Amino acid sequence: MADKSRPRKLSVYLYIPNIIGYIRVLMNCIAFALCFSNKKLFSILYFISFVCDGLDGWCARKFNQVSTFGAVLDMVTDRISTACLLVILSQVYKPGLIFLSLLALDIASHWLQMYSTFLLGKASHKDVKDSTNWLFKAYYGNRMFMAYCCVACEVLYIILFLLAENQNENMMDVLMNSAKQSSLLSFLLALSLFGWAIKQAVNIIQVKTAADVCVLYDINRKQRP
- Residue 5: its pLDDT value, please? 56
**pLDDT at residue 1, as a whole number:** 44
Question: Under 8 Å CB-to-CB from 68, ≥6 apart: which residues?
Answer: none
Regions of the chain short of the pLDDT cut 70:
1-10, 225
Q: What per-residue confidence (pLDDT) applies to 153?
A: 95
Distances 22 to 33, 50, 69, 114 between C-alpha atoms, Å: 17, 13, 12, 22
Q: What is the set of active-site residues?
A: 78
CATH architecture of 5-223: Up-down Bundle (1.20)
Q: What is the per-residue pLDDT across 115-159, written as a single tens digit (0 to 9) for each?
A: 999 898 887 888 888 888 999 999 999 989 999 999 999 999 999
